[in-house]
A and B are shown apart, each in its own frame.
Chain A
Amino acid sequence: MTTLITTLDPKSRAASRGWSDTTIRNVFVIPTVLFLIIFNVFPLLYSLAFSFTDFRASSKAAVNFVGFKNYIDVLADPVIWRTFSTTLWYVIVSVTGQFVVGFGLALLLNRPLPFKGLLTTLLMLPMMLSPVVVGLFWKLIYDPSRGILNHALGSGPVARLSDSNLALYAVAITDIWMWSPFVMLLSLAGLSAVPKHLYEAASIDRAGKLYTFFRITLPLVAPILLIAVIFRTMEAFKTFDIAFVMTGQPAAELISSRLYKMAFQQWQTGPSSALAYIILIMVLCITNIYVKYLNKAKER
């Protein structure tokens, strides 16, 4: 690179094409900022305005300002309330499962194993797939007549995705399968950063395996595990694609699916904007807590 620059004739066109800060600002920065304003900031503010009106995207009727009515209606709707509770239960089941499986796999991979690199790569494959593909793939696995799961369990034709008691857990298992590698990856990073001399000191003091795990491993990996858990919690609250593709069971309906139905099937644009803002406030709260603990973990 250096050779190329020094061999250029200073008077040549190529040499004179060096871009100034002003050109870089005009060519790269301003278009990006404009793009963000048009496609992110403007829709955000526009939908905020919609959330205070009775606007329906499917009708040409006059739009009226209704104040906080949409917010009050959304919070008084029993179906939306049930959906929020279902989402919270889904988040608890899914994140707990991901934590247990992911951290377990990380502990397994943190010891000497044959083909460790290949194994780690294979375990990370689900995370790299598209959620819609994963949803369709697991729908086939759960299929009551042709699905491999019923065949493997020998349980007969159990329709897990149409059962109101089982559908949510079936979706959660799919999410656990897909996102455990993420927790595993972060846990592995945390485990590899634990100083070896602490384990040596513990073995000299004849500390047991459980004692070493609870007094050395877990406290030192805890900050990074907490980050993984908060990050997955944030994402699990927003889950849409997997649940939408896999099941139409009302008992397993998550808040994002309800929002989609309100906005694009029932065309309740005003109330659905209000619901979207309620979800935004909730996710902002989780994000703030996440950033707070991320900074604390950095300070350590």
Chain B
Amino acid sequence: MRPIATVARYTALAWHLSAVSLHRLTEYRMDFVLGAGGLLLRVGGQLAVVGMVFRQVPVIAGWNFHQVLFLLGFSLLPRGVDRLFTDQLWIMARRLVQSGEFYRYLIRPVHPLFALLSERFLYPDGFGELITGAAITWYAADQLDLDPGIGDLLLLPLLVLCGALILAAIKTAFAALSFWTTNSFPALYAANQLGDFSGYPLDLYHPSLRWLLTWLLPYAFTAYAPASYLLFGRTDLLLWLPVVTAALVALALLVWHRGVDRYEMTGS
């Protein structure tokens, strides 16, 4: 009974705290508009580049224009979900350990990671990413006459969720490095930057980079693997998705717990 009760309690807490965040969001509407607007411009830039590439050639590395669009749009979905819930990790990597403020999360009656993340649930930029991503994916699927069966439609949220978990796990592991280095912002930033490669077909890249993005920092599973399944029916990578997700989450939690164990307060 215990685990079920725990899950129920955390779900209720997450629900409640998300509602609190939504209230804050309506208070700072301008921030939301700016965040979403900035994101639209960034995606717009990416779309412009893709458009210009396909003005020159009909196909790159076996992908046509709308297939690349589909991949680009899909890559925003797990990113959006991840951003909604884990943006606090950036702040942790940058300063919470260094300044000693991290102890606050250790004295609350919930898991410290949950305590940290819940301080800012529903980060507004995440909504922008989700809406834009969904719109692009929808448009591309429509242009490609994609006709997913009911099974694929049910699978879709799971694929997005696994992608989001992978992203969150990578972020957690790199943010937790700050327990050793006091500031792991550059490392987290670098790891996150490599994620930019996941918005385009991996077939474009050098095999070594492809290997890195598949097995070392598995961004391939957040967009490329699901999109190649939905578009081409390729399952070679997709079958690994549950394994990779579970392993990565376990690894991230291990790093996190090791870090928390060696955390010492600055004293005051």
- Binding between chains A and B: no
